[in-house]
Each structure stands twice: as C-alpha cells, then as structure tokens.
Amino acid sequence: MVSIARKNLLEDLPRFLVAQAGIMFAVSLVTIQTGILNGFSRSTALLIDRSKADIWLTSDRMVQFEYTEPLTYAQLEEAKQVEGVERAEPITLTTSRWYPANSTESSSVRIIGFDPNGTLFQPGDITQGNLKAVSNPYTIMVEGSRIEELHINSIGQMGKIGSLPARVDAVTENTQSLVASPFVFTSLENVNTYMSAGYTSRVNCQANESGKFDCTTIYEKASDAETKQSQMPPLKALSLTDPVTYILIKAKRGQNMEALKKRLQETIPGTTAYTKAEMSQKTRDYWKVRTGVGVILGIGAAVGVIVGMVVVSQILYSSVSEHIKEFGTLKAIGASDKLLYGVIVEQSIWMAVLGYIPGMLICLGLSAAVAEQGIIILITPGAAVGVFGIIVAMCIGSAFLAIRKVTRIDPAMVFKG
C-alpha cells in the first residue's frame, strides 16, 4: 500500500510541487508567526530573566515592566531591614531624548539606571567597553541592536541626553525589548542627574496609618536662569526621597519565597512582591493578551493552516479522482475500506513530511538572517515539534475529502466499458 501511495504522489510531479508549495507556505507562516510571538514576548522580559534577583519589589500599581509607578530610595533602605533579605538593589527607569553629536535627528530613549558594583541586575552581554565605565560622570552604555537608530558609530562618541552631555563608553546586547525605545544604561547617580536636569524638586510627605511617612518627590520645571547656571551640574546622589522604579531582592539561603514576599509587602505599604518568574510572566502576558498581539499573530498562523488545508485537500481529491478505477479494482478484489483509507492517509503524511522539512529550513535561515537586526524569531524545539504536529494533522484532515470519494466507489464500475 505504501508503494501505491508513493506512486500516486509522485506520478504528476508539477501537481506534487504545487502541493508541497502550499504546505511549505503553511509551515512557514505558522512557524514565523509563532516564532515572532515567542521572540517578541521573550524580548519584553529579557532584563527580568537575566537578573539574579529572587524577588522584584514594585509599586502595587505596576502593570508590566515598563509601565509602573515609582518607589522611593527610602523604601530600599526599609527592604534591606526585612528579615530574610540578604541584599537589595534599586534600578530606575525613565524616558528622555537622545541628541547625537553627528546628526540633527533626536531619538526617544529608555534610560535604565543601576548600580555598576551590584550583583543582581545584569545589563546584557557587553561587547565593547566594560561595565565599570558607566560609573564615570555622564557616561552611558547602549544596546547594540539599536545603535544605528541612535546615530552612534563607535564608543567614545558624545551626544546629549536632554540638556546634559553623555559619552558612549560601552555597548551591550541581548537586552532590547522589541516594543521599547532604545535602551540606554548608566549608573543610578547619572540617571538621577539626567532625570532632574532642568527641573527643581520638592518633597511631599504624608503620614500613613502606621505612623510612617510616605514621601514622594515632585519635579517642577526650573526657571531659565536656574537652567543656565547648571548646564554641567555635579552628579546627584540619591537621597531618601528620590524615586527608584524597582527594588531587586536577593533572599538569604533557605528562605521561603512566599513568606518573604508577604513580609516585604507588609513592611512596605503600597508595594507588591513578585518572584523573578512571576514578574517575567506578568510582563509577557501583558503583551500577549492585553495588547492583542497574540490574537493578531494567531490569526496569521490560522490563515496559513487554512491555505495549506485547501491546497492539500484539492490535490488529494484530484489524485483520487484520477485513480478512481484503480481504487475500484482494489475494492473489487476484496481490499477493505480501511486499506484504501491507509493509502490516502499515507499519501497525506508523505506530503506533510516533505513539505515540513524545507519549510522549517527556510524559517531557521530567516530567523538567523534577521537576528542581526534585533528581530527575534524564536523557534524552540518544542515549537518545531508543535508545528510538525499541526501540519500532519492538517494534511490528514485534508485527506478526509478524498476518503469520502473512495467510500462511494462501486466496484462494478471496473467492469463497465
């Protein structure tokens, strides 16, 4: 029966190639759409996944990694005193404008401040310069995949962030979210200086129910005279009232994470504690579900399956129609319906395998080609196996239209003139 299936499959080579093209299209569309979705969602949580923190302490109004409300440096000091905390480090996220020295085009950038001497935050894989460079005043590290967008040619190049100078002293990779402005990394003192440049600040404190003070820093636009007098201010060290975005927690050995999360939230009102895995999942889910990106890419994958099914079913139906007398002869000499169905299903499986292999190779090549552009098409072994299962199911499902034709064969037709 296998030889009959192969014979029917390869007898008409042009038709066979058309069928394989349809299957390759389905494989490519499903793989690329799911790969883009996986790569996209993974990119949004790269910095979380690469961190060495056990717990991320955030505002209780945090929606996802880049959309939250600030905490204060004072809350970092409180977190350090909580039982079970071995180490706590802050990171700060803010948005500003980058003005390159060699271009009139400015860009929006996402500035991430961290402690270069810390151990919990990992700003990617440094390819040029070194981590300690960002400890120097007005120095930054940029994400390599977006370096051309910032009009940066090499390290050592000068530009401005807002109204203050910035020197590119390092380049890193594997940090950039596909949905975010280009990432720029620097020390906490640098980012605090950039945040407050051109602004004056005042602190608003209110007593809460426990008798502690909740303090927030309110920045107001400085007068022109004040701005001119402070074009190159000294770096602004963080005070207790300055904002930080997240507090990264390293737990002491043997700590129960759920119990530690509860203690942190009880000690520091207005916060929520997430494990690294929970924080990462919350961010990925936001982009997959709440933004509709997952639905859009899912529709694209479904279109690929539908197109593939239409092509395969038409090819199989035509093949059965052309060999209807052969199937009738088999039935007349006693072949069971199950045996005849096996020929068609075997044919559809061969089509699935022969279409899947080149289709997947094309997707892997495309994934490698666009990786240099910072576009991640993430094709995991699990995803590849899943796509193969979908394609086999698609081809077998398509065979049912042809099987219905076989079930209606009258063996007597073989003996008709």
Count Cβ atoms within 10 A of the Cβ of residue 54 and give its class: 0-12 exposed, 13-18 middle, 19 or more buried: buried
Q: Is residue 300 located within the same domain as residue 378?
A: yes
Q: Is residue 40 located within the same domain as residue 74?
A: no
What pLDDT shows up at residue 222?
44
End-to-end Cα separation, the chain, in angstroms: 27
Q: Pairing relation of β-strands 55-59 and 139-143?
A: unpaired
Q: Is residue 18 situated within a structural domain?
A: yes
Q: Is residue 260 located within the same domain as residue 168?
A: yes
Q: Is residue 214 situated within a structural domain?
A: no
Q: Is residue 297 situated within a structural domain?
A: yes
Q: Is residue 165 located within the same domain as residue 67?
A: yes
What pLDDT shows up at residue 92?
95
Q: Is residue 408 situated within a structural domain?
A: yes
Q: Is residue 258 located within the same domain as residue 355?
A: no
Residue with the two structure tokens 């040029």: 128
Q: Is residue 21 located within the same domain as residue 155?
A: no
Q: Is residue 168 located within the same domain as residue 38?
A: no
Q: Is residue 16 located within the same domain as residue 123?
A: no
Q: Is residue 230 situated within a structural domain?
A: no
Classify the C-alpha dihedral 249-250-255-258 as positive or negative: positive
Q: Is residue 173 situated within a structural domain?
A: yes
The answer to whether 319 touches 405, Cβ cutoff 8 Å, is: no
Spatial CB neighbours of 74, under 8 Å, sequence gap ≥ 6:
215, 240, 241
What pLDDT shows up at residue 189?
93
Residue with the two structure tokens 């074009």: 231
What are the pLDDT tens digits along the chain (417 aa)?
445 666 666 666 777 787 788 888 888 888 888 888 888 888 899 999 999 999 999 999 999 999 999 999 999 999 999 999 999 999 999 999 999 988 888 899 999 999 999 999 999 999 999 998 899 999 999 999 889 889 998 899 999 998 899 999 999 998 988 888 999 999 999 999 998 775 444 445 565 665 554 555 454 444 444 444 345 678 888 888 899 999 999 999 989 999 999 999 999 999 999 999 999 999 999 988 888 777 787 787 777 778 777 777 777 777 666 666 666 676 677 667 677 777 778 888 888 888 889 989 998 888 888 776 667 788 888 888 988 888 888 888 877 766 766 666 655 555 554
> For the chain, what is the domain count?
2
The residue range of the domain holding 139 is 61-196+237-269
What pLDDT shows up at residue 196?
78
Residue in 214, 24, 52, 37 with CA at minimum distance from that of residue 123: 52
Rounded CA separation 264/268 (Å):
6
Count Cβ atoms within 10 A of the Cβ of residue 156 and give its class: 0-12 exposed, 13-18 middle, 19 or more buried: exposed
Q: Is residue 312 situated within a structural domain?
A: yes
What pLDDT shows up at residue 199?
44
Q: Is residue 8 located within the same domain as residue 156?
A: no
Q: Is residue 218 situated within a structural domain?
A: no
Rounded CA separation 135/125 (Å):
17
What pLDDT shows up at residue 226?
41
Q: Is residue 174 located within the same domain as residue 317?
A: no
Q: Is residue 335 located within the same domain as residue 384?
A: yes
What pLDDT shows up at residue 203?
47
Q: Is residue 122 located within the same domain as residue 172?
A: yes
The structure's pTM equals: 0.74
DSSP string covering 371-386: HTTT------HHHHHH
